[in-house]
Amino acid sequence: MDEVTQDVENLKKEWSQTVSQLEGSIAAIESCGKTGKGTEEANSLPRLNGSAQDALQLLKSLQFRLDLLAQQLPTFEEVQSGQATLESWDEQYKKLRASLRNANLQAKENIRKAAQEERELLLGGGEESTIRRRNLQTKAGMTSAAESITDSLRRSRQMMVQEVERSASTLATFDESTSVLRKAEGEYQGHRSLLMRTRGLLSTMQRQDVLDRIILTVGFILFSLAVLYVVSRRIGLLTLQRKLADAIRSGSLSAEDIVAKAQRGAPAANVPSPAPPIYDEL
């Protein structure tokens, strides 16, 4: 069984015991004054009411604790059952509170009647009346002392109940904070792994960027050299063509000589140019 479920079951048992105790206190309050001892029972009425109020406070504390635990149950069905139990407890609490109020009204009426009968008996005179007055005075003193001690104990118990409620609320807050911290830790671990992968990808991209720059630089240099080579060759050919054209134009070299030299593979510059034709002026 889950720990929270076990706590809920313990709360239900404690609720049943407290309700039984409260019902006994209500029955005792309602019967006050019926035995004919109005003064004695009137002195004990505050003690009974204090016990009943303590029981009501405890029931209220149990409701608060069940409300906290119902939200932490493992399954949805158990949560719904806990909420239904909480609603039934609230209805039962209201009924017990109304029963306590009615019992106090009935006790006051009984005590009033019993006190009136005692007053009539005391005013009747005689030895029995004198003895009864002395007994009442002695019992009244003892009852007053007992009531004072009971009130002190009741106040102490009420303070302890309040401290227990405050401690339960603090523990519930700590549990919620712990769950939130655990979720935050899990998210942090997930983000940390993602950051590590991102860092690795960035390092790979940086290395690839450097490699691409090197390749681009080398390619650009090779391309520039090729362009320079082509341009230089082109300029050389153009210069040669211009020289040949000038030579042909000046008549120092004929086209047949150029073809013959090209076929022999000898440079045209080393072949002696033919003598210019001599025309007879005569």
Do 244 and 258 meet the contact criterion of CB atoms below 8 Å apart? Answer: yes
pLDDT at 266: 45
Is pTM beyond 0.85? Reply is no
Distance, in Å, from the CA atom of 202 to the CA atom of 206, rounded to the nearest integer, reads 6
| C-alpha–C-alpha distance, residues 191 and 202, integer Å | 16
CA 245/CA 47 separation, integer angstroms: 139
Mean pLDDT by 10 residues, the chain (282 residues): 80 90 87 64 75 87 85 84 89 91 85 70 55 59 67 80 83 84 85 86 90 93 89 77 73 62 52 46 36
Instruction: State the Cα–Cα distance between residues 258 and 95, nearest whole angstrom.
Output: 133
Which domains are delineated in the chain? 3-123+147-192 (1.20.58)
- How far apart (Å, rounded) are the C-alpha atoms in residues 42 and 119? 14
The long-range contacts involving 272-276, CB below 8 angstroms and separated by at least 24 positions, are: 276/251
